[in-house]
Amino acid sequence: MCDIFVKADPALYQAKARSLRLHGVVTSIRLEQLFWQVLQEVAERDGMNTNQLIAKLHDELIAYRGQIENFSSFLRVCCLRYLSLMADGDVPRDKQLPLSALHNNQNTQPQIAAKTSAYLL
């Protein structure tokens, strides 16, 4: 069973820090390379670069929660949710389709929201 995990390319779990600006403030985020790759894929689906996506997620999280406890962990969870929702068929595998279209689709919102706490059980 562990072969599928332990034989992964070590480059995927190598941590890498990146600097970016959030509202003019330079900050650094440290994530494993695999998470950077997923964030890049998500960003490209909506015509953004990774820094633009991270700034957008930061702003949306502040607007929704009012504060951020651990933004790096939040980004990791975003990546895992994206991959999980795509594996379940709730996010189209066609990477040409923007994720913003799902946000505006009233039919998919309840179905995706229902899975929000499924992993907490």
- Residue environment code for 68-106, b if the CB has 16+ CB neighbours within 10 A, otherwise e: eeebeeebbebbebbeebeeeeebbeeeeeebeebeeee
pLDDT score for 111:
52
Say which CATH architecture domain 3-120 belongs to.
Orthogonal Bundle (1.10)
Give the residue among 106, 102, 100, 74 at the shortest CA–CA distance from 88.
102
Residues 68-97: what's their mean pLDDT? 93
- pTM reported for the whole predicted model: 0.82
Tokens of 29: 């985020």
CA 4 to chain centroid, in Å, comes to 22
Residue-level pLDDT at 110: 47
